[in-house]
Amino acid sequence: MVLVFVENSDGKFKKAALEAVTYGRKTADLLGSECHALVIGAADNAGELGNYGATKVYQLSNDNLNSFDSQTYTQAISGVANDKGASTIILSNNASGMALTGRLAARLDAACVSGANALPTLDGSNLRIKKNIFSGKAISEMTLTGEKKVISVTGNSLKPETIGSPCEVEAVSVDVSAPKSKVISQDKQTGGPAPLPEAELVVSAGRGMKGPENWGIIEDLANIIGATTACSRPVADTGWRPHHEHVGQTGVAIRPNLYIAAGISGAIQHLAGVNQSKCIVVINKDPEAPFFKAADYGVCADLFDVVPKLTEAIKKAKA
């Protein structure tokens, strides 16, 4: 059985979680097996995970799991996997996934791929899975030979698909020790656009902006299409924009459908984190800017002129 750990965001499931369920179902189909989902904590609509491919949902509530702790969550997920006979565990490659994937693999002495960006294929009884390496400058294909496997899936690698119907939810329990770490506060943007790793549309800007006071035109463009804003590294380093907006080899690696870059030169370290975007638009006044070589569409002009015009053109097209 393939067990998908579905992250529960205050009773709701984010897109990344649904993607993991669809990934799990397709992996189960490949292995001739079933796809079950595990939800920790209360969620009213857990059975709806069936729509995305799960045929059973396990719901686990335990006071020791009220706040995220990688150690107790690992005990819980591996406990359910062992009790229910799961050979493969799938999770999202996000902040909690990064804390859990390696732990689970070590605990189960399993083969492990983090950041899978395509569905597996079969090689005899082994799975083969592609993942990006060098922040997208190359791709490696991994062969998983262990009996147990742990796979974390990169966001936006596949679309959540409606391939099933609501399914049975079974309450389960496992022994979990008291957590040794405690979340004491959270500071999350509420509402607003999707966080960068999940965003389908991203508007990004670099040093060509001249200063933080000029970001209004970037925010306007982002707002009108519902995009998330990002920036180049020097922009975050000088404090013009918050660190979590920094994309590239040493920042967030993203793969949105659309990446609009204004006033960014396109240094190799920047490209490494964004070159998996499906469509790249580059606005730069220097015709020699290296970013044009990685772009689908280019506009060679002053961004202070072009960006507001683009925003207007989109408004017009939407009206």
Partner 1 sequence: MKQLVCLSKTPETTTQIKLTGDGSQIDSNGVNYILNPYDEWYALVRAIELKEAVGGTVTVINVGDASNDVVIRKALAIGADDAIRVDADPSNALGVAKSIANNVKEAGYDIIYCGKESIDYNGSQVPAMLAELLDLPFVALATDMKVDGQTATIKRDIEGGSETVEVQTPFVLSAAKGLAEQRIPNMRGIMQSKRKPLNVVSSDVNDAKTQISGYALPSGKSEVKMIDPENMDELVRLLQEEAKVL
Ligand X SMILES: Cc1cc2nc3c(=O)[nH]c(=O)nc-3n(C[C@H](O)[C@H](O)[C@H](O)COP(=O)(O)OP(=O)(O)OC[C@H]3O[C@@H](n4cnc5c(N)ncnc54)[C@H](O)[C@@H]3O)c2cc1C
> Is residue 303 part of the contact set for ligand X (CB under 6 A)?
yes
CB-wise, 2 or 108, nearer to partner 1? Answer: 108
> Is residue 237 part of the contact set for ligand X (CB under 6 A)?
no
Q: What are phi and psi of 52, to 5 degrees?
A: -95, 0
Site pattern 223..242 for partner 1 (x: CB under 8 A)? --x----------x------
Binding partner 1 (rule: CB under 8 A), the pick from 95, 216, 238, 286 is 95
Q: Answer for the pair 27, 151: CB distance below 8 angstroms, yes or no.
A: yes
Choose among ligand X, partner 1, none what residue 265 binds, the Cβ cut-off being 5 to 8 Å by kind. Answer: ligand X
Residues within window 147-176 making contact with partner 1, judged by CB under 8 A: none
Handedness of CA 7, 9, 14, 18 (dihedral sign): positive
Chain centroid to CA 270: how far? 18
Q: Answer for the pair 31, 129: CB distance below 8 angstroms, yes or no.
A: no
> Is residue 6 part of the contact set for ligand X (CB under 6 A)?
no
d(CA 168, CA 174): 19
Binding partner 1 (rule: CB under 8 A), the pick from 30, 98, 158, 174 is 98
Q: Answer for the pair 1, 183: CB distance below 8 angstroms, yes or no.
A: no
Residues within window 194-233 making contact with ligand X, judged by CB under 6 A: 206-208, 232-233
Chain centroid to CA 69: how far? 20
Choose among partner 1, ligand X, none what residue 168 binds, the Cβ cut-off being 5 to 8 Å by kind. Answer: none
d(CA 282, CA 300): 8
Residues within window 180-209 making contact with partner 1, judged by CB under 8 A: 180-189, 192, 194-198, 201
Binding partner 1 (rule: CB under 8 A), the pick from 45, 139, 162, 286 is 139
